[in-house]
Amino acid sequence: MTSSPVEKEVNAFMKGLVRRNPGEEEFHQAVREVAESLMPFLLEHRQYYDANILERMTEPDRVVIFRVCWEDDQGCIRTNRAWRVQFNNSIGPYKGGMRFHPNVTLSVLKFLGFEQCFKNSLTQLPMGGGKGGANFNPKGKSDREIMRFCQSLMIELHRHIGEDTDVPAGDIGVGAREISYMFGQYKRLENRFVGVLTGKGLSFGGSLVRTEATGYGVVYFMQNMLAARGEQIAGKTAVVSGSGNVALYCIEKLNHFGAKVVSASDSGGTVYDPGGIDTDKLAWLKQLKEARRGRISEYAEHFGVEYREGRPPWSIPCDLAFPCATQNELNGEDALALVGNGVMAVAEGANMPTDRDGIHHLTEAGVTFAPGKATNAGGVAVSGLEQSQNALRIAWSADEVDRRLQEIMKSIHDQCVRFGDDGSGRVNYIDGANIGGFVKVADAMMAYGVV
């Protein structure tokens, strides 16, 4: 079979990228998805193609790699590796979360940092893209151990970040507790109280609604997608994966909008609750996950519902699906199961949770599909609002922040429609998000000349 000019361009581009970044599979996957959807646009808008903007955008500005030594409760010295990937600051200071998880590698952080550039651009706020983290497993660690790890990490990281340079936030394994320990150490080392991290506690510069923002934002995006099809969330059955920050507040907002959420999961398995995770059960689940750091299997035991050990939730019948746990958690087989059960729309809460095959099967079947870089941008958007509040030394009310969040999610949806409407009457949200996110960053890079 002969390949089209677009395919030839993508393959040549990817060959170079893989050669320059050997073994970085997640990074290759994220770039390929963007290259495939951007290439027709680049070939039509030669100024970007001729300036080699895509190649320049796939090379991070810099990567800092460092050792983090800390002492556990038994007095043993432990060593981890940490990274900060400062990807692109063309439209604002680097901005993106820190992830603490044993499977963190440079490849994972480069894929996340690359996606973050597009996501931050879509919010229309002045934020560049970055990401960081450590191959540290917070599970089973005491509070004191977490504190010592965060403090040790910040002894190096503080040199590379700043309110006008790079502003980290949370991600998997990094919530309010870790941000607080890191901020406390930064403040001590630098003797400055500035908005250098977001996701802070409310009494020291945090923003209302930051905790809820990513999960709520995903649901606001779904609301906009369904409205564009003359549909609504009320009355729909939803399947959610994960039970962390994004998943819990995605479930909460779905309940507010009158949907029935029948699943939640963690790395151990899935609970299937056909009656729905209503407000009372969600309060119990939050207590389990946020306060006690327990396992999802305990929900099944407590409420007497089915527990599917080691399995994701995608075979459960639903109208709407929200993958909110981690990358590549929804594959081709899972997508076929969702399609077979009549799923109508999928909005990604996590970053790159649907793999290439999964996306292919969903879109082939006409399922409305929106990628994480558009749908989960609510978290970083409210982080951007936290930075604004810190700079102005004011605090907006929850209603004010929520109103702005809803406006931002609507504007991201509008950009996806603008750049992703292929004239067939359907919106390609992948193209819309990639092109919409690309243009602003690319225009800034072109304006700076060859730098």
Residue 363 makes contact with ligand NDP by CB under 6 A: no
Buried b (16+ CB within 10 A) or exposed e, 266-290: beebbbbbeebbeeebbeebbebbb
For ligand NDP, the binding residue among 121, 151, 185, 214 (CB under 6 A) is 214
Candidates 90, 95, 79, 86; CA nearest to 64 is 86
User: Checking phi first, is residue 133 left (phi over 0); if not, alpha (psi -120 to 50) or beta?
Assistant: left
For ligand NDP, the binding residue among 243, 263, 315, 428 (CB under 6 A) is 243
**Ranges within 286-315 binding ligand NDP (CB under 6 A):** none
Residue 107 makes contact with ligand NDP by CB under 6 A: no
What is the full DSSP assignment across 281-301? Answer: HHHHHHIIIIIS---THHHHH
Q: Which two tokens stand for residue 416?
A: 């996806």
Residue 105 makes contact with ligand NDP by CB under 6 A: no
The single residue of 95, 131, 200, 260 carrying the catalytic annotation is 131
166/171 with CB nearer ligand NDP: 171
Spell out the alpha helix ranges (H) of 229-330.
245-256, 279-286, 297-303
Residue 37 makes contact with ligand NDP by CB under 6 A: no
For ligand NDP, the binding residue among 37, 120, 351, 390 (CB under 6 A) is 351
User: Checking phi first, is residue 254 left (phi over 0); if not, alpha (psi -120 to 50) or beta?
Assistant: alpha
Residue 180 makes contact with ligand NDP by CB under 6 A: no
For ligand NDP, the binding residue among 96, 132, 133, 173 (CB under 6 A) is 173
Ranges of beta strands (E only) in 101-235 are 129-134, 166-169
Q: Minimum distance from CB of 421 to ligand NDP (Å)?
A: 25
261/445 with CB nearer ligand NDP: 261
Contacts of 413 (CB under 8 A, 6+ apart): 221, 224, 225, 228, 374
173/276 with CB nearer ligand NDP: 173
39/374 with CB nearer ligand NDP: 374
172/435 with CB nearer ligand NDP: 172
Residue 168 makes contact with ligand NDP by CB under 6 A: no
Residue 408 makes contact with ligand NDP by CB under 6 A: no
Alpha-carbon dihedral angle through residues 307, 311, 314, 320, given to the nearest 10 degrees: 50
DSSP reduced 3-state for 231: coil
Options 50-58, 159-167, 187-195, 324-332: segment touching ligand NDP (CB under 6 A): 324-332
Q: Which two tokens stand for residue 207?
A: 């923003």
d(CA 115, CA 110): 8
Measured between its terminal Cα atoms, the distance across the chain in Å is 40
Q: Minimum distance from CB of 171 to ligand NDP (Å)?
A: 5
d(CA 323, CA 349): 6
Candidates 401, 385, 321, 315; CA nearest to 359 is 321
d(CA 34, CA 372): 13
- Looking at beta carbons, which residue is closest to ligand NDP? 244
With beta carbons less than 8 A apart as the criterion, state whether 150 and 134 touch: no
Options 33-41, 48-56, 169-177, 363-371: segment touching ligand NDP (CB under 6 A): 169-177
Q: Minimum distance from CB of 386 to ligand NDP (Å)?
A: 12
Sign, CA dihedral 311-225-279-273, equals: negative
Options 241-249, 298-306, 335-343, 431-439: segment touching ligand NDP (CB under 6 A): 241-249
Residue 267 makes contact with ligand NDP by CB under 6 A: yes
For ligand NDP, the binding residue among 24, 33, 166, 171 (CB under 6 A) is 171
Residue 206 makes contact with ligand NDP by CB under 6 A: no
Q: Minimum distance from CB of 173 to ligand NDP (Å)?
A: 5
13/322 with CB nearer ligand NDP: 322
Whether 253 is catalytic is no
39/271 with CB nearer ligand NDP: 271
Number of residues that bind ligand NDP (CB under 6 A): 23
Residue 122 makes contact with ligand NDP by CB under 6 A: no
Residue 350 makes contact with ligand NDP by CB under 6 A: yes
Rg of the chain over all Cα atoms, to the nearest angstrom: 21
Residue 172 makes contact with ligand NDP by CB under 6 A: yes
For ligand NDP, the binding residue among 37, 58, 123, 245 (CB under 6 A) is 245
| Helix, strand, coil fractions of the chain, as percent rounded to 5 | 50, 15, 35
Residue 385 makes contact with ligand NDP by CB under 6 A: no
Task: Report, as residue numbers or ranges, the catalytic residues.
Answer: 131
Contact positions vs ligand NDP (CB under 6 A): 170-173, 214, 242-247, 266-268, 324-326, 329, 349-351, 376, 379
